[in-house]
Protein backbone atom coordinates (compact mmCIF):
# COMPACT_ATOMS: atom_id res chain seq x y z
CA UNK A 1 0.00 0.00 0.00
CA UNK A 2 1.31 3.45 -0.98
CA UNK A 3 0.27 6.41 1.19
CA UNK A 4 0.75 10.00 0.08
CA UNK A 5 -0.75 13.42 0.68
CA UNK A 6 -0.60 15.19 -2.67
CA UNK A 7 -1.23 18.66 -1.24
CA UNK A 8 1.56 18.30 1.31
CA UNK A 9 3.98 16.88 -1.26
CA UNK A 10 3.13 19.48 -3.90
CA UNK A 11 4.81 22.17 -1.83
CA UNK A 12 8.10 20.29 -2.19
CA UNK A 13 7.76 19.80 -5.93
CA UNK A 14 5.47 16.81 -6.55
CA UNK A 15 3.70 17.16 -9.89
CA UNK A 16 0.83 15.14 -11.41
CA UNK A 17 3.26 13.66 -13.96
CA UNK A 18 5.46 12.25 -11.21
CA UNK A 19 2.50 11.24 -9.04
CA UNK A 20 1.04 9.20 -11.90
CA UNK A 21 4.07 6.90 -11.67
CA UNK A 22 2.75 5.69 -8.32
CA UNK A 23 0.03 3.76 -10.12
CA UNK A 24 2.61 1.80 -12.10
CA UNK A 25 4.93 0.96 -9.20
CA UNK A 26 4.88 -2.46 -7.60
CA UNK A 27 6.56 -2.16 -4.19
CA UNK A 28 9.13 -4.85 -3.49
CA UNK A 29 7.70 -5.43 -0.01
CA UNK A 30 4.14 -5.72 1.31
CA UNK A 31 4.32 -3.11 4.05
CA UNK A 32 2.99 0.45 4.10
CA UNK A 33 4.97 2.80 1.85
CA UNK A 34 5.21 6.57 1.93
CA UNK A 35 6.25 9.02 -0.79
CA UNK A 36 9.17 11.32 0.01
CA UNK A 37 11.78 13.44 -1.75
CA UNK A 38 15.53 13.13 -1.30
CA UNK A 39 17.09 16.25 0.20
CA UNK A 40 20.65 14.97 0.80
CA UNK A 41 22.62 11.91 -0.30
CA UNK A 42 25.24 10.31 1.92
CA UNK A 43 27.36 7.17 1.54
CA UNK A 44 24.70 4.58 2.43
CA UNK A 45 21.81 6.74 3.67
CA UNK A 46 19.73 9.64 2.37
CA UNK A 47 17.81 12.44 4.02
CA UNK A 48 14.24 12.74 2.75
CA UNK A 49 11.21 15.00 3.27
CA UNK A 50 7.59 13.84 3.06
CA UNK A 51 6.05 17.32 2.85
CA UNK A 52 5.67 17.52 6.61
CA UNK A 53 8.77 16.01 8.22
CA UNK A 54 12.43 15.49 7.34
CA UNK A 55 14.09 12.22 8.36
CA UNK A 56 17.03 9.96 7.54
CA UNK A 57 16.58 6.63 5.76
CA UNK A 58 18.75 3.70 4.79
CA UNK A 59 18.85 2.35 1.23
CA UNK A 60 18.00 -1.18 0.14
CA UNK A 61 21.12 -2.98 -1.15
CA UNK A 62 19.91 -3.17 -4.77
CA UNK A 63 19.27 0.59 -4.86
CA UNK A 64 22.58 1.23 -3.13
CA UNK A 65 24.33 -0.71 -5.88
CA UNK A 66 22.59 1.43 -8.51
CA UNK A 67 23.60 4.56 -6.64
CA UNK A 68 27.28 3.60 -6.72
CA UNK A 69 27.48 2.22 -10.24
CA UNK A 70 25.14 4.28 -12.42
CA UNK A 71 24.63 7.87 -13.45
CA UNK A 72 20.91 7.23 -12.96
CA UNK A 73 21.37 6.33 -9.29
CA UNK A 74 19.79 8.18 -6.40
CA UNK A 75 20.32 11.94 -6.43
CA UNK A 76 19.07 14.99 -4.57
CA UNK A 77 15.61 15.83 -5.92
CA UNK A 78 14.58 12.23 -6.60
CA UNK A 79 11.17 10.96 -5.49
CA UNK A 80 11.25 7.66 -3.63
CA UNK A 81 9.12 5.26 -1.65
CA UNK A 82 10.07 4.72 1.99
CA UNK A 83 8.98 2.02 4.39
CA UNK A 84 9.17 1.90 8.17
CA UNK A 85 10.76 -1.34 9.35
CA UNK A 86 11.23 -2.66 12.87
CA UNK A 87 12.94 -0.49 15.50
CA UNK A 88 11.65 2.62 13.66
CA UNK A 89 14.22 2.23 10.89
CA UNK A 90 13.22 3.78 7.57
CA UNK A 91 14.32 2.32 4.25
CA UNK A 92 14.17 3.60 0.67
CA UNK A 93 12.54 0.77 -1.26
CA UNK A 94 11.77 2.22 -4.72
CA UNK A 95 12.62 5.22 -6.88
CA UNK A 96 10.39 7.01 -9.37
CA UNK A 97 11.91 7.86 -12.73
CA UNK A 98 13.03 11.50 -12.81
CA UNK A 99 11.53 13.93 -15.29
CA UNK A 100 14.87 15.71 -15.68
CA UNK A 101 18.29 14.49 -14.57
CA UNK A 102 21.53 16.49 -14.52
CA UNK A 103 24.78 14.57 -14.95
CA UNK A 104 28.41 15.37 -15.64
CA UNK A 105 31.55 13.39 -16.45
CA UNK A 106 34.08 12.76 -13.70
CA UNK A 107 37.81 13.01 -14.35
CA UNK A 108 37.98 9.29 -15.16
CA UNK A 109 35.19 9.61 -17.76
CA UNK A 110 32.39 8.04 -15.72
CA UNK A 111 28.99 9.70 -15.43
CA UNK A 112 28.10 11.35 -12.13
CA UNK A 113 24.56 12.28 -11.10
CA UNK A 114 24.10 15.86 -9.89
CA UNK A 115 20.36 16.28 -9.24
CA UNK A 116 16.93 15.22 -10.49
CA UNK A 117 13.53 16.74 -11.25
CA UNK A 118 14.77 20.29 -11.82
CA UNK A 119 12.55 22.97 -13.36
CA UNK A 120 15.04 25.86 -13.51
CA UNK A 121 18.80 26.09 -13.11
CA UNK A 122 20.16 29.33 -11.67
CA UNK A 123 23.64 29.59 -13.18
CA UNK A 124 25.49 31.71 -10.65
CA UNK A 125 28.56 33.76 -11.56
CA UNK A 126 30.16 36.48 -9.47
CA UNK A 127 30.89 39.96 -10.79
CA UNK A 128 34.46 39.70 -9.52
CA UNK A 129 37.34 37.35 -10.36
CA UNK A 130 34.76 34.58 -10.81
CA UNK A 131 33.45 36.16 -14.06
CA UNK A 132 34.16 33.66 -16.85
CA UNK A 133 32.01 33.43 -19.97
CA UNK A 134 33.60 30.20 -21.21
CA UNK A 135 32.61 28.44 -18.00
CA UNK A 136 29.11 29.87 -18.25
CA UNK A 137 28.78 28.39 -21.74
CA UNK A 138 29.62 24.99 -20.25
CA UNK A 139 26.84 25.30 -17.69
CA UNK A 140 24.39 26.37 -20.38
CA UNK A 141 25.29 23.32 -22.47
CA UNK A 142 24.81 21.08 -19.40
CA UNK A 143 21.32 22.39 -18.62
CA UNK A 144 20.23 22.55 -22.25
CA UNK A 145 21.11 18.89 -22.79
CA UNK A 146 19.05 17.92 -19.73
CA UNK A 147 16.01 19.91 -20.86
CA UNK A 148 16.25 22.29 -17.90
CA UNK A 149 15.48 26.00 -18.28
CA UNK A 150 18.38 28.28 -17.32
CA UNK A 151 18.65 31.74 -15.77
CA UNK A 152 22.03 33.46 -15.49
CA UNK A 153 22.40 35.13 -12.09
CA UNK A 154 25.28 37.58 -11.71
CA UNK A 155 25.96 37.97 -7.99
CA UNK A 156 27.88 40.58 -5.98
CA UNK A 157 26.28 43.45 -7.88
CA UNK A 158 26.64 45.49 -4.69
CA UNK A 159 30.45 45.46 -4.90
CA UNK A 160 30.84 45.66 -8.68
CA UNK A 161 31.61 48.99 -10.33
CA UNK A 162 30.65 47.92 -13.85
CA UNK A 163 27.55 45.77 -13.42
CA UNK A 164 25.72 47.21 -16.45
CA UNK A 165 28.74 46.59 -18.68
CA UNK A 166 29.08 43.00 -17.50
CA UNK A 167 25.37 42.29 -18.04
CA UNK A 168 25.60 43.70 -21.56
CA UNK A 169 28.68 41.56 -22.22
CA UNK A 170 26.86 38.40 -21.19
CA UNK A 171 23.73 39.26 -23.18
CA UNK A 172 25.75 40.06 -26.30
CA UNK A 173 27.73 36.81 -26.23
CA UNK A 174 25.18 34.27 -25.05
CA UNK A 175 21.76 33.20 -26.28
CA UNK A 176 19.13 35.92 -26.15
CA UNK A 177 16.61 33.35 -24.86
CA UNK A 178 18.45 33.04 -21.52
CA UNK A 179 17.51 35.72 -18.95
CA UNK A 180 20.41 37.55 -17.28
CA UNK A 181 19.85 39.08 -13.83
CA UNK A 182 22.32 40.93 -11.60
CA UNK A 183 21.63 40.73 -7.86
CA UNK A 184 23.06 41.33 -4.43
CA UNK A 185 22.77 37.84 -2.97
CA UNK A 186 22.42 39.20 0.58
CA UNK A 187 19.48 41.48 -0.25
CA UNK A 188 15.81 40.51 -0.19
CA UNK A 189 15.57 42.22 -3.58
CA UNK A 190 17.16 39.05 -5.01
CA UNK A 191 14.01 37.10 -4.13
CA UNK A 192 11.87 39.69 -5.93
CA UNK A 193 14.09 39.57 -9.01
CA UNK A 194 13.77 35.78 -9.20
CA UNK A 195 10.14 35.52 -8.09
CA UNK A 196 8.75 34.44 -11.48
CA UNK A 197 10.80 31.20 -11.32
CA UNK A 198 9.97 30.48 -7.67
CA UNK A 199 6.28 29.65 -7.77
CA UNK A 200 4.96 27.02 -5.37
CA UNK A 201 6.01 23.51 -6.42
CA UNK A 202 8.91 24.68 -8.59
CA UNK A 203 12.39 23.21 -8.07
CA UNK A 204 15.52 25.24 -8.75
CA UNK A 205 19.19 24.30 -8.60
CA UNK A 206 22.12 26.66 -8.10
CA UNK A 207 25.17 25.83 -10.23
CA UNK A 208 28.44 27.72 -10.30
CA UNK A 209 32.00 27.75 -9.09
CA UNK A 210 33.04 27.92 -5.45
CA UNK A 211 32.83 31.47 -4.14
CA UNK A 212 30.21 32.60 -6.65
CA UNK A 213 27.69 33.20 -3.85
CA UNK A 214 25.40 30.17 -4.21
CA UNK A 215 25.00 29.47 -0.49
CA UNK A 216 24.52 33.16 0.26
CA UNK A 217 21.77 33.32 -2.34
CA UNK A 218 20.23 30.11 -0.95
CA UNK A 219 20.10 31.65 2.52
CA UNK A 220 18.31 34.70 1.11
CA UNK A 221 15.80 32.80 -1.03
CA UNK A 222 15.07 29.97 1.41
CA UNK A 223 15.56 31.87 4.68
CA UNK A 224 18.03 29.14 5.65
CA UNK A 225 21.32 29.20 7.53
CA UNK A 226 23.77 27.59 5.11
CA UNK A 227 27.37 28.15 6.13
CA UNK A 228 29.11 30.66 3.86
CA UNK A 229 32.72 31.74 3.47
CA UNK A 230 34.83 34.39 1.84
CA UNK A 231 37.03 34.09 -1.22
CA UNK A 232 40.83 33.96 -1.32
CA UNK A 233 42.39 37.36 -1.67
CA UNK A 234 45.05 36.00 -4.05
CA UNK A 235 42.75 34.84 -6.85
CA UNK A 236 39.18 35.56 -5.76
CA UNK A 237 38.24 31.87 -5.66
CA UNK A 238 36.02 30.28 -3.06
CA UNK A 239 37.17 27.83 -0.40
CA UNK A 240 34.47 25.15 -0.92
CA UNK A 241 32.43 25.93 2.20
CA UNK A 242 29.52 23.85 0.83
CA UNK A 243 30.56 20.20 0.55
CA UNK A 244 27.34 18.40 -0.46
CA UNK A 245 24.20 19.00 -2.49
CA UNK A 246 21.12 19.77 -0.37
CA UNK A 247 17.48 20.70 -0.99
CA UNK A 248 15.89 23.60 0.89
CA UNK A 249 12.26 24.75 1.12
CA UNK A 250 11.43 28.39 0.37
CA UNK A 251 8.70 30.35 2.17
CA UNK A 252 6.73 30.71 -1.07
CA UNK A 253 6.63 26.98 -1.74
CA UNK A 254 9.54 26.54 -4.16
CA UNK A 255 12.53 24.25 -3.50
CA UNK A 256 16.17 25.18 -4.03
CA UNK A 257 19.06 22.72 -4.38
CA UNK A 258 22.36 24.22 -3.30
CA UNK A 259 25.48 22.57 -4.71
CA UNK A 260 29.22 22.64 -3.96
CA UNK A 261 31.39 24.54 -6.40
CA UNK A 262 32.54 22.26 -9.20
CA UNK A 263 36.33 22.25 -9.55
CA UNK A 264 35.91 20.96 -13.09
CA UNK A 265 32.87 20.49 -15.28
CA UNK A 266 33.26 17.90 -17.99
CA UNK A 267 30.04 17.79 -19.97
CA UNK A 268 28.00 14.65 -20.42
CA UNK A 269 26.45 15.73 -23.74
CA UNK A 270 26.57 14.42 -27.27
CA UNK A 271 27.51 16.45 -30.33
CA UNK A 272 23.90 17.19 -31.30
CA UNK A 273 22.98 18.49 -27.83
CA UNK A 274 26.07 20.67 -27.69
CA UNK A 275 25.37 22.17 -31.12
CA UNK A 276 21.81 22.95 -30.04
CA UNK A 277 23.10 24.99 -27.10
CA UNK A 278 25.20 27.10 -29.50
CA UNK A 279 22.21 27.88 -31.68
CA UNK A 280 23.73 31.03 -33.20
CA UNK A 281 26.67 29.04 -34.58
CA UNK A 282 24.38 26.32 -35.90
CA UNK A 283 22.22 28.89 -37.71
CA UNK A 284 25.18 30.66 -39.30
CA UNK A 285 26.77 27.35 -40.33
CA UNK A 286 23.96 26.97 -42.88
CA UNK A 287 25.38 30.02 -44.69
CA UNK A 288 28.95 28.74 -44.93
CA UNK A 289 30.36 28.10 -48.40
CA UNK A 290 31.12 24.46 -47.55
CA UNK A 291 28.59 22.15 -45.93
CA UNK A 292 31.26 20.44 -43.81
CA UNK A 293 32.92 23.71 -42.79
CA UNK A 294 34.88 23.38 -39.53
CA UNK A 295 34.92 27.18 -39.07
CA UNK A 296 38.70 27.28 -38.83
CA UNK A 297 40.44 28.29 -42.07
CA UNK A 298 37.95 27.56 -44.86
CA UNK A 299 37.06 30.42 -47.24
CA UNK A 300 33.52 31.75 -47.12
CA UNK A 301 32.93 30.81 -43.47
CA UNK A 302 29.90 32.77 -42.22
CA UNK A 303 30.50 31.67 -38.62
CA UNK A 304 34.05 32.94 -38.34
CA UNK A 305 33.05 36.30 -39.81
CA UNK A 306 30.23 36.89 -37.31
CA UNK A 307 30.68 34.97 -34.05
CA UNK A 308 32.96 36.21 -31.28
CA UNK A 309 36.32 34.48 -31.74
CA UNK A 310 36.56 33.38 -28.12
CA UNK A 311 33.03 31.93 -28.18
CA UNK A 312 33.84 30.01 -31.37
CA UNK A 313 37.08 28.70 -29.85
CA UNK A 314 35.20 27.50 -26.77
CA UNK A 315 32.55 25.81 -28.93
CA UNK A 316 35.22 23.92 -30.87
CA UNK A 317 36.92 22.86 -27.63
CA UNK A 318 33.64 21.57 -26.16
CA UNK A 319 32.88 19.80 -29.43
CA UNK A 320 36.18 17.90 -29.25
CA UNK A 321 35.37 16.88 -25.67
CA UNK A 322 31.90 15.66 -26.66
CA UNK A 323 33.34 13.58 -29.49
CA UNK A 324 35.92 12.02 -27.16
CA UNK A 325 33.22 10.98 -24.70
CA UNK A 326 31.24 9.38 -27.53
CA UNK A 327 34.18 7.28 -28.66
CA UNK A 328 34.24 3.58 -27.96
CA UNK A 329 37.30 2.09 -26.20
CA UNK A 330 38.53 0.78 -29.57
CA UNK A 331 38.17 4.26 -31.13
CA UNK A 332 40.26 5.73 -28.32
CA UNK A 333 42.97 3.10 -28.81
CA UNK A 334 43.03 3.83 -32.55
CA UNK A 335 43.31 7.57 -31.89
CA UNK A 336 46.23 7.09 -29.52
CA UNK A 337 47.97 4.87 -32.07
CA UNK A 338 47.44 7.50 -34.78
CA UNK A 339 48.94 10.26 -32.61
CA UNK A 340 51.92 8.07 -31.74
CA UNK A 341 52.63 7.54 -35.45
CA UNK A 342 52.32 11.28 -36.10
CA UNK A 343 54.66 12.15 -33.22
CA UNK A 344 57.26 9.63 -34.41
CA UNK A 345 57.05 11.17 -37.88
CA UNK A 346 57.60 14.67 -36.51
CA UNK A 347 60.57 13.53 -34.43
CA UNK A 348 62.06 11.77 -37.45
CA UNK A 349 61.77 14.93 -39.58
CA UNK A 350 63.40 16.96 -36.84
CA UNK A 351 66.22 14.42 -36.60
CA UNK A 352 66.80 14.56 -40.36
CA UNK A 353 66.89 18.38 -40.34
CA UNK A 354 69.53 18.36 -37.64
CA UNK A 355 71.59 15.96 -39.78
**CA proximity to 209, closest of 109, 119, 139, 143:** 139
HEC readout, 112-129: EEEEECCCEEEEEEECCC
As a whole number of angstroms, the distance between CA 130 and CA 207 comes to: 13
Residue 347: burial class (beta carbons within 10 Å; 0-12, 13-18, 19+)? exposed
Task: Tell me what pLDDT residue 329 has.
Answer: 67
Query: Which segments in the chain show pLDDT lower than 70?
Result: 26-31, 65-72, 86-88, 108, 224-243, 263-264, 327-329, 331-332, 355
Indicate the class that CATH gives domain 2-95.
mainly beta
The class of domain 101-258 in CATH terms is alpha beta
Beta strand 246-249 with 255-258 is antiparallel
Residue 100's pLDDT is what?
A: 93
Query: 146 in helix, strand or coil?
Result: helix
Q: According to the model, what pLDDT value does residue 30 have?
A: 62
Q: What is the pLDDT of residue 338?
A: 79
What is the model's pLDDT at position 238?
Answer: 42
Class of domain 269-348: mainly alpha
Q: What is the rounded CA–CA span in Å between residue 310 and residue 136?
A: 13
pLDDT value of position 57: 92
Domains 101-258 and 269-348 share a fold: no
Residue 48 has a pLDDT of: 94
In the chain, domain spans: 2-95, 101-258, 269-348
Amino acid sequence: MINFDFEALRRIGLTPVIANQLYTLTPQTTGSHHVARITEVHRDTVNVHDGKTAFNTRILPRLLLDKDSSDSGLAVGDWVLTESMQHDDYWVTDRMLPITHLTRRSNDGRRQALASNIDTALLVMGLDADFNLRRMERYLALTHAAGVAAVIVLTKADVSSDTATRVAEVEQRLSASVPVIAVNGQSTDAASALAQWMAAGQTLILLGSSGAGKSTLTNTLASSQQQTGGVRASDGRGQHTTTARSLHLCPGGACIIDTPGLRSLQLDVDEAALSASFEDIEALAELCQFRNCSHQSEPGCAVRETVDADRLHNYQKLLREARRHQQSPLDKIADRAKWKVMMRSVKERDRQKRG
